[in-house]
Amino acid sequence: MKLRIIEKAWGINRMTGERSARVTDNRAFAPSVGAVLDFPKGGRHFTIDAADENSITVTLHCKNTAFNKTWVIQKGKNKLYIPRSMDGGYCYRLIYEDETVLCHYAVSMTVEKSDGKHDLAQSKFFGAPTVPSAWKDRFHDDIIFLAQIRLADIAELDYDNRLPHTGYLYFFLDAEMYPSDQLYVWVEYYPDEPDTVIDNFNVESPVSDGLNDDWLITFHYAEPSADGTKLLGVPSGVINENGGNSTLLLQYDPLDFDGVPFLNNLDGYAYVFYDEHKSGYDAFSYVVERS
């Protein structure tokens, strides 16, 4: 077991109201009772008061005040501390990690249908993909654009560096067999900035209804088994794994996409798995779970 503490500096732009944050420290500690864990940037330290295989007790101490706060964190769970402030400061996420688990977190995705005004290259589902110009003629009519992820958007949430933190990750589906669930997934990584917008990409696809609007993504930290649409973590449904070498890359929850017909009769999830022991298109698989 390890106690991981992630420190972030956050602030609010008073002109725009926009909130920003950046990771200033990220360390994992052995659960040694009595240990003092110093985080000088934020003027705080933590003490480990008790620990076993199932839980850890941690107390936060502030440098210039008598304030302290104690948590009991169960194995695989986390606690978030955000001090009360109008202007910003330092916040902390404490995670009691099971070292036998491959992935200790997920990156959840909240989606919102665009009103038409947004950066076309930002992270999104459906709509018009922004791709390298060299890709423009690679797509046939049976291809569905599923999602593009601007990887810089998740850099501070993917603290184990399981994905690249520059460039873009794209998800496409070959829907020739639709409405069958036996579809092929095409996952592509592009390390630079894309320069070509393909409007009406999904118009000629077998699933054109509802897939031409951009659904913009906001990313959040989540526990591995979190419900909803997410990257990484573990499947939230009945499927616990897709073969011994495969890991979850994307979980799609149709309940997050109100009014989109694609998979709207699904009472489970659609998954994209990645097998690091394979290469090319064979490394990725698309699985739909129905009860």
Phi and psi angles of residue 134, each rounded to the nearest 5 degrees, phi first? -65, -15
- pLDDT digit string, tens, across residues 128-154: 999 999 998 889 889 999 999 999 999
Question: How confident is the prediction for the chain on average, in pLDDT?
Answer: 90
d(CA 215, CA 211): 9
Quick: pLDDT tens for 263-286. 999 999 999 999 888 888 789 999
Q: Are 132 and 277 in contact (CB under 8 A)?
A: no
| Three-state DSSP class for residue 282 | helix
Is the confidence at residue 242, as pLDDT, over 50? no
Give residue 240's pLDDT: 55
Q: For 52-85, what is each residue's pLDDT tens digit?
A: 999 999 999 998 777 899 999 999 899 999 887 7
| Residue ranges, CATH 2.30.320.10, the chain | 106-288
**Residue 102: pLDDT over 80:** no
With beta carbons less than 8 A apart as the criterion, state whether 170 and 147 touch: yes
pLDDT at residue number 243:
45
Would you place residue 259 in the very low, low, confident or very high pLDDT band (cuts 50, 70, 90)? very high
CB 39 within 8 A of CB 23: no
Look at residue 241 and tell me whether its pLDDT is greater than 50.
no
C-alpha 215/C-alpha 220 separation (Å) is 16
Element (H, E) at 76: none
Superfamily name with CATH number, domain 106-288? YwqG-like (2.30.320.10)
* pLDDT tens string 154-208: 998 998 889 999 999 999 999 888 888 999 999 999 999 999 999 999 998 888 6
